[in-house]
Amino acid sequence: MSHLTEEQFERIMQDGETQEAHLESCQLCRSRLAEKRALAARLKSAFANVSAAPDLADRIRDSLPADKSPARARLVSRIFDIRAHRRSWVIVAGAVAAMIIIAPLVIDMLTPSPAMAAQKALVQIHRNNLAQHNGFFAEAQPEKLAEYFREKLGFNPRLPTPEQGLALRGCCVRHFQGGVVGSYVVDTPQGVMSIVIVTDRPETLGISTEFAHGKHVFWKSSFASNNMVSARIGEYSYCAVGEISHRYLSELLSRLLIEEETD
């Protein structure tokens, strides 16, 4: 007696049918089918309790750039309106529409999102800081860090003061989007965070969810298990990065902002 082939078994598994005449007379094939079904059911049940972390959906939504292409969507919609109402222009309008629609899409697909690239770069800076790679200046004295930044970058960034209960671990100058930026590392009761100081506005870095904390406005996002909160101080965006809650990151930045008010 020839038994069912693997392809026949897969068809039965896919379609759920059991009308194969052979099955009625072959105990071995019935047993093999029961085994395959039990295996599939067990595999499915094994994943029943696997679900995304509760904050993953928020992280994804936070990391999405602000609606980047409503103009393009409107343009597409308008083009299709024209096509619907002016049939005689179908061929010409279609060709033009295809050019207008496809060209930005192709360019878009070939070009990594600047927002995503910026967030990746910020997280990478934080990770390099944690590993103290590439010329990390390990120093806990705010004055020494200020001197380092003056020498390397010619500016005086806001630094937490010792009475704020936040220990400085050190600082460095990192490459970021074709330029160099300053960054320092702070030990906090909730973990280690990096503050990266850039001139770009938070929204252009994809840190686009605006929220208020106290009297101040912040922007937040998440990427690769790290949270980011940014605040504008003068001409700079101070981006706090770390595996620390948004609330706590904004709390630290609030302290830096308070210092600004008391100047």
Partner 1 sequence: MTLRSRFEKTACAHIDAVYRAAFALCGARETAGDLVQTTFLKAFENFGSFKTDTNCKAWLMRILRNTWIDRLRRQKTAGPHLPLDEDGLEHKPVAIETVWSNPQDLLENFSDEQVIKALASLADDQRLTLFLVDVEGFSQEDVAKITGVAVGTVKSRTSRARAALREHLSSWAEEMGWTGGRQ
Please give the residue ranges that form the binding site for partner 1 (CB under 8 A).
Answer: 3, 6-7, 9-11, 13-14, 28, 31-32, 34-36, 38-53, 56-57, 59-61, 63-70, 72-73, 76, 105, 108-109, 113, 116, 222-225
Q: How far is the CB of 59 from partner 1 (least distance, A)?
A: 6
Q: Please state the closest distance from residue 234 (CB atom) to partner 1, in A.
A: 30
Bridge partner residues of 232 (DSSP): 237
- Min dist CB 197 to partner 1, Å, is 25
Determine the Cα–Cα distance for residues 33 and 182; give it in Å rounded to an integer.
64
Give helix 56-63 / helix 114-131 axis angle, nearest 10°.
120
With 0-12 CB in 10 A as exposed, 13-18 as middle and 19+ as buried, what is 152?
Answer: middle
What's the DSSP call for residue 196? E
Q: Which is nearer to partner 1, 64 or 233 (CB)?
A: 64
Question: Which residue's CB is nearer to partner 1, number 113 or number 190?
Answer: 113
| Residues written for the chain | 263
Nearer CB in complex with partner 1: 113/132: 113
For 206, the token pair is 């994809």
Question: Closer CB to partner 1, residue 41 or residue 167?
Answer: 41
For the CB of residue 135, give the shortest distance to partner 1 in the complex, in Å.
25
Q: Which CB, 49 or 88, lies closer to partner 1? A: 49
Q: How far apart are CA 253 and CA 207, in angstroms?
A: 15
The conformation of residue 117, written as its DSSP 8-state character, comes to H
Q: Which residue has the tokens 């007696």?
A: 1
